[in-house]
Structures are given as structure tokens and as C-alpha cells.
Structure 1
Amino acid sequence: MRGYSYKTEKSYLGWIRQFIYFNNKQHPQNLGTEEVKSFLTFLAVDRHVAVNTQKSALNALVFMYDKVLKQPLGEIGFTLATKQRSLPLVLSELEVQTVLKQLKDGNKLAVALMYGSGLRVSECLNLRLHDIDFDQNALRIINSKENKDRVTLLSPRLFGAVRQLIEQAIVVQKNDNLLGIGSSMPPALGRKYPNAFRSPGWAFLFPSTTTCLHPISKIECRHHLHPSVIRKALKLAVSQAGI
């Protein structure tokens, strides 16, 4: 109802489930500030989670108690996680080229876009055809982290590969349309524009190989590739590159 992303919903539900199991499956309405404090301290002291991980758990529990159960927690004095984020290991340009040579087809283009345009894997896979602007060498990133939109660069060196993938995506879209299905749509937008799923512009640049039921609307549709597909291909490429 509040328009949170599906990924956020899953994260919140996951933390709430862990909280319930931590308290021997008691209902959260019978628990309160002390139990939340104990759980957050457990994450820091016993699980040694990073600060941001602990914050995610806190946000989930505060949301549940404040917005759902109407039992605001108030001040919570808990042990802060001390494990900070590590400095990233940055690949050299030569190492990136070596990794890209191990990849093929759509996987190669996805990783090249992530590297060249500075995209998260979710942002790359969420690209739809109308987000690509060849005239301005740009990509539109919609509803990214914290529901922010932005425009980033599209390397002219990738134009050919992107155009080829667009043609393939349109073929997939047309075949799906013959069966009365199409790309997955945000539920509200799908209701406002019921035939938008037939538009090539709404097709994903990286469509999934199979159809599925939308988790909210339960309508059969085709979503984008699962992030694990790219992660597994990249992991294998790094291994083959000897890095």
C-alpha cells in the first residue's frame, strides 16, 4: 500500500521472520523494545554483521511495530555493529578486458553495460527498450535505489550489440503477444494502461527465458533475467580469466 519495492518487502519480511524465530516463534505483538534490543545486539555481537545489515533489520522491525502493529518502540539502546565495509578491490582496465573476453552474448553485454555505464546488476536487468537513447548516448535508470531516477552514459562501442539485443527482445515480445502475454508491468501502471505490455518500448532488454506469474497481480508475464544468471556467468568468467 505504501509503494515499497518488491525487493524491500522481501527484505522486511525476511528480517521479521528471523526476529520471530529468534524469540521462539512468539507473535511480535507480545514482544517489544527489549526483545528488539536483544535481537539487534545478537546480530552485532554473535553474527558480526555489518552496520548497514543491522540498520536493515532495525528498519524492518520499526516499520512492523510502528505502521502495522501500532506499537511504537521508542528509544532502543542496542549494541551497534562495528564491522565496517571493506575497501573494494578494483580491477585494472586490462583485467576487465580479460574477463569480458570470457563472456558471451547477453551476459557479455550486461557486464559491459554495468562496467561502462556504472550500473548495479538490478539496474542493468531492469532496462526496458524505451530507456535506451542512442541519439544522446544515454540510458534512463528508473526507480533505482531509494526510488531515484537518473540518466547515465551509453558507450557508442556497445551500440551494435545493444541494437542486436533489442531486435531479439522485440521478437520475444511479439511471440508473447500472440499468446496474450507480455513483459511484466508495475501493477498500477498495468491497470492504467492495460495494453502497454504489447508495446515494444516496455520490453526488457534482457528478458527471462521463461514466463512467470507476477508476484502481486498474479498475471502471467515475462520478467527480466534473474540477477543470479549474470552473477554466475561473471564468477565463472573471473575464474577462467585467472584473476
Structure 2
Amino acid sequence: MENTPEVKPAPKLFPSIVERLRVKHYSKRTEEAYVQWIKRYILHHGKRHPRDMGVAEVEDFLTHLAVARNVSASTQNQAKSALLFLYDEVLEQRLPALENVTKVVAKKQLPVVLSTQEVQAILSRLDGHLWLLVSLLYGSGLRVMECLRLRVADIDFARLEILVRDDQGHKNRITLLPVSLVNPLKTHLQSVAALHAEDLAKGFGEVRMPASLSIKHPDSGKDWLWQYVFPSSRLSVEQQSGLVYRHHADEKPIQRVVKKVAAEAGIKKQVTPNTLRHSFAAHLLAGGQDIKTVQRLMGHADESTTMLYTKVVNVGGRGVASPLDVI
């Protein structure tokens, strides 16, 4: 009797997606976003398997986001990136050009900028690590997630510099560390070091490595230099591997507290954590800093993005100093 060859079942879709994202060293945040977009894509098409769909269904979904859901250009682009990853990297079915998508046109709006008095009013209502974190948003021009993802190794006290790592390690940049934050930051790191020592004593103390360094330093997750400057208050168990990590703090409490204290200060503007970053750029330009330097510190790929701030300030020319040190 002839043996029938065993047919192995096809791997389940979402574990395959997560595995591929981690092989390619995508961040946890990107992993979560891509998985959610792929789920929405499948639900939009009546739970059909992506392997049974293709370019027409992808175009239909992206157009639906633009027309029916009225999403922003960045949101539509993120959904597109997630689906291209699904087909290119997981299903190995490279899609042709998506030519029939109604694209959302990005609108370049003038950034909301605070006065130095308004910045002071916000900072004066904060204390502890929240004060330090928000001070870095304004004093170094950081996005909130850039600040939360900072590692101890990214802070150079001697050179007064901060290394800002891109998720994929392709667009790292250097920004300035305000002199006025050196001592508060050193004190804060002492408490973080104590927490890390407690974790190690309990058999934990590991963080996920930055994507660009996970290959070079795969076993360095417990090293002090790679710990987060603003760690989470809780340990997390990774569902796929069962490993226990201490991730960085969550951004949502930061967003809520900045909005709350701005309202308490009577500021009649739509204030978010990124408003502090916008104010960093605007105040540098108002103080005479040149466009190219501000572009580099902000990490803008296009000078036209930085030029938006010139519409709310007068530009001159002086030496670089953090606006936090001025106030």
C-alpha cells in the first residue's frame, strides 16, 4: 500500500505576521498597528483570507478609509504600509502598483506654538518624572514617543547631546540636552537604576533591544545602558514568547496630563505633547537660529516642514542654546 505524503497545515496567519515583523525588527508599536490594520482589512471584506484577495481589494479598502472614514494622509499611509508588508513579506505575493486608490492629500497646517510664559505655566504645574519628561519635549524638541523610547546610552552628559533613534535605525539624529536638565536627569536615572537592580534581583530586568541593534547586541537586554530612561511601572509578559520585559512608560498619561495642566493654566489652544516640540522649533527660530540647524535638530526630512515655523516667528541669526535654558 502506497504511503500518502503528509500534508502540513498552512501556518496560521497572524502568528506568521507577528513572527515576520519580529524577524525584520519592527518596533512593538508598529507591530500592534500593522496587526490591527490587517484585521480591519479582513473584516472589511467579509473575513475573506488575504491570500484570496489582491490589488483590487487593497485599493478598495484604502479608498474606503479616505472617502468613508475620512482618515488623515498619515493614517492611510500606515494602513497601506501594513498591507504591503502582509503581501510582500508574509504571503510573498508582491502587489502591482496601487493606481486606483483615492489618496488623502496631506494638509500642512500652521503648528500650534506656545509663548514662553505658557510653557512656564505648564511646567510649573508638573513635578517628578512628568516635569522632566515634558521639559525634554520642549527643551530638546522631542516627540513624546521619542522621549519615551530613550535609552540610558542615548544620553551624553559630557557633550550635552541626546541620540534620537528611529524605529528602524535609518534616521537617527542628534539633538541638544539642556544644561538645566543635567542634574534632574542624573537624579532621575539613579531611581531608574535602583528599579533595574530590583528587577535583576528577581530574575527580570530585560528590555527589548532597539531594532537597529538587536542583531549586534542580542544578549544585551539586561545591560544598564539599554534600559529605558522612562520605564513602565509594571513588567509585561510578551504573549508570543512568554518573556518578561520592562517596557517604556505609556504615552497616554502624558497626553492627558499635558492637556489637563494647559487647561488649568487657562491656555486657549489645542495643546498636546507635540505642541511643546513645535514651541522648541519656533522659539529657536525666534531667537535667531538658522533654518538648517533647526531642521537637523527636529529631524525633518524636508526643509519645507521646518519653514512652516517661520510663519509664526521672525528669523534672525545667533548661536544655539536650548530655549528651556533661556526661560
Q: TM-score, normalised by structure 1?
A: 0.90
Deviations 1:53-83 (A, max 9, x none): 2122122212212232233321331212246
State the partner residue of 1:128.
151
Q: Per-residue CA shift, 1:106-160, capped at 9, x if unaligned?
A: 0010010011111111111122222211111111222347642222100011112
Distance 1:120 1:160 in 2: 22
2:134 aligns with one of 111, 131, 138: 111
Aligned length: 242
List aligned pairs for 1:138-157, cutoff 5 A.
138-144=161-167, 147-157=170-180
Alignment of 1:1-243 (within 5 A): 1-76=23-98, 77-82=100-105, 84-144=107-167, 147-186=170-209, 189=214, 194=219, 197=222, 199-214=223-238, 217-243=241-267
Distance 1:88 1:146, change over 3 A: farther
Structure 1, gaps ≥5 residues long: none
What percent of counterpart residues are identical?
36
Distance (Å, rounded) in 1 between the aligned partners of 2:138 and 2:57: 43
Shift in Å, 1:189: 4.2
Judged with a 3 Å threshold, the aligned counterparts in structure 2 of structure 1 residues 19 and 225 are, in CA distance, closer, same or farther, namely same
- AA in 2 matched with 1:5: S
Do 2:122 and 2:261's aligned partners in 1 also have CA atoms closer than 8 Å?
Answer: yes
In structure 2, how many angstroms separate the alpha carbons of the residues matched to 1:16 and 1:58?
Answer: 10
* Residue in structure 1 matched with residue 286 of structure 2 by the alignment: none
1:110–1:215 distance in 2 versus 1, CA, 3 Å: farther
What value does the CA root-mean-square deviation take over the aligned residues?
2.3
CA distance in 2, matches of 1:11, 1:159: 35
Amino acid aligned to 1:28: P
Q: Assess, with a 3 A threshold, how the Cα gap between structure 1 residues 44 and 205 changes in structure 2: closer, same or farther.
A: same
Q: Distance in 1 between matches of 2:105 and 2:227?
A: 43
Alpha-carbon separation, structure 2, partners of 1:6 and 1:200 = 21
- Secondary structure of the corresponding residue to residue 78 of structure 2: helix
Separation (CA, whole Å) in 2 of partners of 1:194 and 1:134: 26
Q: Does the residue aligned with 1:102 lie in a helix, a strand or coil?
A: coil
Task: Please state how far the C-alpha of 1:225 moved relative to its aligned partner.
Answer: 0.9
Contact 1:184 1:223 in 2 (8 A): yes
What 5-or-longer segments of structure 2 have no aligned partner? 1-22, 268-327
- The 1:137–1:215 alpha-carbon spacing in structure 2 relative to 1, beyond 3 Å, is farther
User: Residues 5 and 200 (structure 1 numbering): CA distance in 2 closer, same or farther, change over 3 Å?
Assistant: closer
Displacement of 1:216 after TM fit?
Answer: 5.7
Distance in 1, Cα, partners of 2:86 & 2:123: 44
TM-score under structure 2 normalisation?
Answer: 0.68
Q: 1:28: how far off?
A: 1.1
Take 2:243 and 2:257, find their aligned partners in 1: how far apart are those partners?
30
Secondary structure of the structure 2 residue equivalent to 1:21: helix
Cα separation, partners in 2 of 1:144 and 1:97, compared to 1, 3 Å: farther
Please, which moves more after superposition, 183-192 or 155-164? Answer: 183-192
Contact conserved, 1:123 with 1:144, CA < 8 A, in 2?
no
Please say if residues 122 and 265 of structure 2, whose CA atoms lie closer than 8 Å, have aligned partners that are also in contact: yes
